[in-house]
Structures are given as C-alpha cells and as structure tokens.
Amino acid sequence: MSELDIQLDRDAGRFEAVVEGHSCVLDFTIDEDIVSMNHVGVPKAVGGRGIAGRLTRHALDWADEQQLKVRARCPYVARWIERHPEYQRLLT
C-alpha cells in the first residue's frame, strides 16, 4: 500500500485517512497531559491492509511528540502496543 495520508482533526479528536472513499479513523480525547485512544475504525471494504496499525503508530508518534501519556482504551491500540514494546513507555 502506498503512503497513507493521515490528517489530524484535534477539535474533533480524531486522526483520519480516506482510503478509496472510505473514512478510516482513530478517535481520541485529551485530558491535561493524557490522550485516551478510544476507538480505531477501518471499514471492511478496505480492511486487512494494515491501515489500523498505521493509524495507531501515527497517533502514538504524535502523542510522543506532544509529550502526552497514552491511555489505550481501545482494545486494538492496547494489543498493538503490546506487540510494539518500544511504545510501552508512553502508557500511563
């Protein structure tokens, strides 16, 4: 898959990438210095391409740059972090 164009809409609390007309999102909320990653959604029509993982990595890299701690409320995000121990230091 080519480069994924992920956009941040901080006011809406989401990262979004449009793939073949389908909206793929990672929803989050921020409370002081903690970002809660609440939901990752990728429509079945474009699933199985690693999009959720790429959204998750992008969001975690952003949190790190912003010096935010992460609360992985989404089961997908929690499992992804377990599989990528270099991101575990971000967890609160």
Q: For the chain, what are the domain ranges?
A: 7-90
pLDDT at 3: 82
pLDDT at 68: 98
Spatial contact of 55 and 15, defined as CB atoms under 8 Å apart: yes
pLDDT at 1: 53
Place of tokens 């690693």: 50
Q: How many helices (H) and strands (E) does the chain have?
A: 2, 5
User: How does the average pLDDT of the chain come out, rounded?
Assistant: 97
Neighbours of 51 (CB within 10 A): 21
Angle at Cα 80 formed by Cα 41 and Cα 18, nearest 5°?
A: 30
| Check whether domain 7-90 has CATH 3.40.630.30, yes or no | yes
pLDDT at 2: 66
Q: Please tell me the pTM assigned to this model.
A: 0.95
Neighbours of 83 (CB within 10 A): 8
